[in-house]
Amino acid sequence: MRPFVVLLGLFACAAAVAQQPLALELTLRDGRVLAAQSLVGSQSSGYEVVSGGERHQLAASDVLFVHGAPALPVDLPVLHLQGGEVVRAALTGGDAGGNRVEVVSPCFGQLNVAVDRLQAVVVGREPPERFVLPDGVDEALFVPAAIGFDIQGGSLFQFGAEGVRFQPEGREAPRWFAVREFVALRLRDASSRAKPAEAELWTRAGDHVGVDAVECRAEGVRCRLEGGAEVDVRWGDVAGLGWRAGVTWLSDLAPSAVRESGFDGDVVHPWQRDLGVTGEPLSGGGHSHGKGLGVHSRSRLSFAVPPGAGSFWTRVSLSSSASALPVVANVDVRVLVNDTLVFQANLTPASAPGDTGLVAVKAGDTLTLEVDFGRGRDLGDRVDWLSPLFLPTNPRRP
């Protein structure tokens, strides 16, 4: 199917989503989660929120994360940028020098992406880590084979609507490889952002990008992408929007200890960072969470509390993928500080996401997230730790 035909269908779906009543959740700095039917404002002016028919004025620092509907990644090539940013879009062009790739995204429209920011272009759902460059090879195409794929080292020349213009080693000239002819393009030594973005945006289509100059409007979010492009993203297309100022996300830290096992001893699925344990987007209670940890019972992840932290907060829920299984999951979850229990819950498919509230911590403490077998074996025990974070203070509720 041609890319533009696919995109027409995706844009139609996005328009239908955008017409639905707005239903957001806001994670606030004081540990509350606020349902919102309207969100207007910016980090410079603060926010006006309509919740339950009442208007609330919030300072900019009060809002940590905006949660939209769960992401449903679209079936388009995936551009992986250095630093974890992701754009899902159809390849539509590129300059002759091979310095940029032109794409059309269901949520952002037409974009130019700098090639020196690219780690990989993946066709399908595999993570870029699946495609490892051999020693001494800086650019390679991974092409389908009878079993798995073959690696063709060589040189990238250009992107275009035709796909990728690439010259394999040993060939006299480059040729165009259509998207259907390869599963991944890997590039070594991609460049990082020149400076950190003000915020991070996740979309319903499965994009994850850094954004600046964020302004929340009645119809959606206006923001500036890397490279200077100004875009308007409708609320129906926003899966999540989060700010980093004053926050340490647990998923950005390396665990100090990891213990995992299945009911019969073997690890069923190892833990994942910012994804569900089987690779799906994180979600809970019908809302998306761009940051978090996906785990399977039994799991025990410990983290050293970083300097300056004064409190910890998270939600926890069964993964959305658990509900599709022909078994009923049942898990016990616990949060411990220095091996002292501070939160526990039993989760089943009927459970609402659990909420720890603000938990007092200090630098040097050990925080542990534990998922254990509930009533039954470990079948279907997939759990999402949703938006776990450290805050520098422990504010009181107003």
The tens digit of pLDDT for each residue in 66-82 reads 999 999 999 999 999 99
- Residue in the block written with tokens 């390679």: 140
The pLDDT score that the predictor gives to residue 5 is 44
Structure confidence by residue, pLDDT tens digits, 113-142:
999 999 999 998 899 999 999 999 999 999
Confidence band of 20 (pLDDT split at 50, 70, 90): low
Looking at per-residue pLDDT, the higher value among 181 and 325 belongs to 181
Mean pLDDT of the chain: 90
Closest Cα to residue 319, out of 258, 372, 381? Answer: 381
Higher pLDDT, 146 or 341: 341
Question: Distance (Å, rounded) from C-alpha 92 to C-alpha 106?
Answer: 13
pLDDT higher than 50, residue 13 = no
Q: Is the pLDDT of residue 8 over 50?
A: no
Count of CB atoms within 10 A of residue 17's CB?
A: 16
321 vs 260, more confident: 260
**What's the whole-number mean pLDDT along residues 244-251?**
90
| pLDDT confidence tier of residue 2, bands split at 50, 70 and 90 | very low
**pLDDT for the residue 281:** 93
- Report all structural domains of the chain as residue ranges with CATH numbers, in order of start: 1-23+68-245 (no CATH), 248-391 (2.60.120.1060)
Q: What is the pLDDT of residue 12?
A: 44
For every residue of the chain, which 3-state class applies, written as one string?
Answer: CCHHHHHHHHHHHHHHHHCCCCCEEEEECCCCEEEECEEEEECCCEEEEEECCEEEEECHHHEEEEECCCCCCCCCCEEEECCCCEEECEEEEECCCCCEEEEEECCCEEEEEEHHHEEEEECCCCCHHHCCCCCCCCEEEEEECCCCEEEEEEEEEEEECCEEEEEECCCCCCEEECHHHCCEEEECCCCCCCCCCCEEEEECCCCEEEEEEEEECCCEEEEEECCCCEEEEEHHHEEEEEECCCCEEHHHCCCCEEEECCCCCCCCCCCEECCCCCCCCCEECCEECCCEEEEECCEEEEEECCCCCCEEEEEEEECHHHHHCCCCCCEEEEEEECCEEEEEEEECCCCCCEECCCEECCCCCEEEEEEEECCCCCCCCEEEEEEEEEECCCCCCC
**How confident is residue 379, by pLDDT bands cut at 50, 70 and 90?**
confident
Residue range 244-260: mean pLDDT, rounded? 93
Q: How far apart are CA 234 and CA 257, in angstroms?
A: 41
Asked if 60 and 44 touch (Cβ cutoff 8 Å), the reply is yes
- 1 confidence band (pLDDT: 50, 70, 90): very low
pLDDT at 268: 80
Name the nearest CA neighbour of 131 among 209, 78, 171. 78
Q: What is the pLDDT of residue 4?
A: 46
Dihedrals phi, psi of 174, to nearest 5 degrees: -75, 160
What pLDDT does 340 receive? 98
pLDDT given at position 21: 64
